[in-house]
Amino acid sequence: MRRMTKRTFVITGANSGLGLAAAKALARPGAHVILAVRDERKGREAQAALTGGTSEVRRVDLADLDAVRAFAAGLDRVDVLINNAGVMAPPRTLSKQGFEVQLAVNHLAHFALTALLLDRLSAGADPRVVTVSSVLHKKGRLDFDDLQAGRGYSATAAYNNSKLANAVFGLELHRRLTAAGSPVRSLLAHPGYAVTGLQAGVQPGLYRTLLTRLGNPLLAVSADQGARPVVHAATAPDVEGGQFIGPTGVAQMRGAPGPVPLAPHATDPALGRRLWTVSEELTGVRFPLLDRNRP
């Protein structure tokens, strides 16, 4: 990797899993890494594992949009924002603002954080927003009459839907940045099938058993390997805005990072516009730098 000195990366969920692996990879060539974490103690433990660059730990609870606003207000410089943190298939719970927690943490918080940091990103060096989705976005569907999954809640379906929201948002952000002539690149990434702490939040049952006892030991790659597409999207000079970076091996589960296809329904511009409008309404956050180019 080229030298990353004088570049600042903000990584949500950087205390474990993909976020920590990405933080280590970026710190080694000299980057300044801001570990955005809910638990500061765990964040400091993660920080101790970083070598090569500089780092700091900052608290943010992504299940609380007020905390997201406070976190963003405290940042002076950002060159790359990595929207990585997530929760996976927990029992149905609500965020502080009353949103289904997977939609709230995985999508709405990152939508708001990106909007709140866009002015600083626009002034950054080789600025990028990397939103971490999943191959499971292909199974997601966005039901705007029931985004909060209040009818017949399925933990896994709600997770898939949140990962689709990540994909739709990242691509729509790319469209709007391009229309505005912004220097910021919006990219998407996914780790393939990687062992991370994410599965620990899955509610007990058959799905969790299949993941932890069969899928993880037999098929999964390490968090370090899973982070490679994320780091590639955040640093490679030849990536283009709007690309989805993932493992290029069989079924996108492992292999060298590179561009991979999004599900066709994730690329629908009408879906992107609608999700954007609804996300603005739910979060109360807008993108003033892009508003003059609103479709």
Catalytic residues: 159
Query: Rounded to an integer, what is the distance from CA 180 to the centroid of its chain?
Result: 23
Amino acid at 52: G
d(CA 54, CA 68): 23
Task: Write the DSSP symbol of residue 215.
Answer: I
Amino acid letter, 145: D
State phi, psi for 211 to the nearest 5 degrees: -65, -55
Contact at 8 Å (CB) between 90 and 202? yes
**Helix ranges restricted to H, 228-287:** 228-235, 269-283
Question: What is the residue-wise DSSP string for 79-101?
Answer: SEEEE-----SPSS-B-TTS-BH
Q: For the sheet containing 185-189, what is the strand order?
A: 54-59, 32-37, 8-12, 80-83, 128-132, 185-189, 244-247, 257-259
